[in-house]
Amino acid sequence: MTGGLLFVSSVILVFHAAWGCPEICTCQPSSKMVDCSYRGLLDVPSHLPSQTQALYLQGNQIRVINLTSFTNVPGLRILDLSNNSISRVPPYAFHYLRSLQVLNLTHNRIHNLEGQIFIPLLALKELDLSYNNISILPESLGNNTQNLTFLGLRNNQLQTIDRMVLEPFTNLKVLLAKSNPWQCNCPSLGLKLWLENLLYKGGIIDELICSSPENRKGKDLLKIPFEMYKTCPPYTATFSLAKIHHHSSEHRNNGRHGHHMDSADGNHSGCEPKPKPRPVSLRHAIATVVITGVVCGIVCLMMLAAAVYGCAYAAVMAKYHRGLKEVERLAPLEEHGSPEEKEPLDGSLA
């Protein structure tokens, strides 16, 4: 029995050595998964198996990601770095991860994102940056990540998101951005329009509760009526509406249009197309319908009354004319008498 256990242990050790699994981690060669979660690690383990496709590093004390941390796992598809102490991600930390599809960086201390971080991640579909201290998203966030379908931004320090950052995400289905200090002033109009366009296409968005200004505090950005943005500069509103209209037109005409945004920006940078007129609000539309219905009803009642009056007048006049004709017909008979009455009189005179 003891000999059998020793043999099995030896086989496992030899197998792990052959696959190159770090001693502190658990490896499953069949699924190409390496689990190093909750091991008290201060750094990403070196000498990871080159065939690794799923790497779990959550629940450690990793503070820094080196430029060479993932160079030997180019086929990595899932990377979980949540619940660590990462405060900064170098620009080229994920440079070799061209096949990465899921990246989880939640519950860290990241406060700044370099513009080049996500550019190499051409296959990325899910990116979760929730529960950090991020205040600004880089403009190049969506340059090469058009395949992204999920973006998590909950519990950060975001006050607004430039519309240009989100427009490249043509395949985005879910955006979670709850619990940020959103400023719902004039610059947020572009974000509001983009979010409504995402909802129109069937996307999912959680609440974006405003922290300022005071008259919009506690309100959901998506539920603020457009009348409250009437005081904003006309150029801001027109530009935002034009970009959303242009983006929607491309989506209808071309379906998936991940590479058309750059050309659109280049062709229309100097002159933006006028947006289609749209109703100011649902309340105004309903009021217009009600008023129109009342007016139409009044007009119909007046027409009905006129028709009844006309019919009654015609009937009275017809009866009057019949009576007049009857009187005119009987008048000569009364004046000259009938032939039967005249014959006896003539005979008597003869």
pLDDT above 80 for 337? no
Q: Indicate if the pLDDT at residue 291 is higher than 50.
A: yes
Give the span between the Cα atoms of 140 and 145, in whole angstroms: 9
pLDDT value of residue 251: 45
Average pLDDT, integer, range 232-251: 52
pLDDT (tens digit, 9 = 90+) per residue, 127-157? 999 999 999 998 888 777 888 999 999 999 9
For residues 105-116, give the mean pLDDT.
92
Higher pLDDT, 102 or 90: 102
pLDDT score of 320: 79
Structure pTM? 0.64
Is the distance from CB of 239 to CB of 265 less than 8 angstroms?
A: no
Residues 42-51, mean pLDDT to the nearest whole number: 93
* Average pLDDT estimate for 39-61: 95
String of DSSP letters for 249-291: HHHHHHSS-TTSHHHHHHHSSS-PPPPPP--S-HHHHHHHHHH
Give the mean pLDDT of the chain: 79
Q: Which CATH number is associated with domain 18-180?
A: 3.80.10.10
One-letter amino acid for residue 260 of the chain: H
Give yes or no for residue 345 having a pLDDT over 60.
no
Q: Which H or E run contains 321?
A: helix 282-336
Give the pLDDT band (50/70/90) at residue 75: very high
pLDDT-derived band of residue 258, with 50, 70 and 90 as boundaries? very low
pLDDT value of residue 72: 92
What is the predicted pLDDT for the residue at 134? 96
The pLDDT value recorded for residue 270 is 36
**Residues ≥6 apart with Cβ < 8 Å to 241:** 193, 275
pLDDT in tens, 318-334: 887 787 777 777 766 55
Q: Which tops the pLDDT comparison, 336 or 45? A: 45
Residue 205's CB: how many other CB atoms inside 10 A? 18
Task: Judge contact between 110 and 86, C-beta under 8 A.
Answer: yes
Per-residue pLDDT averaged across 180-192, rounded?
92
- Give the whole-number percent of the chain exceeding pLDDT 70: 74
Residue 81 confidence (pLDDT): 97
Predicted confidence (pLDDT) per residue in 275-286, tens digit:
444 544 556 678
Higher pLDDT residue, 304 or 238?
304
Q: Which residue ranges make up each domain of the chain?
A: 18-180, 290-338
pLDDT of residue 282: 59
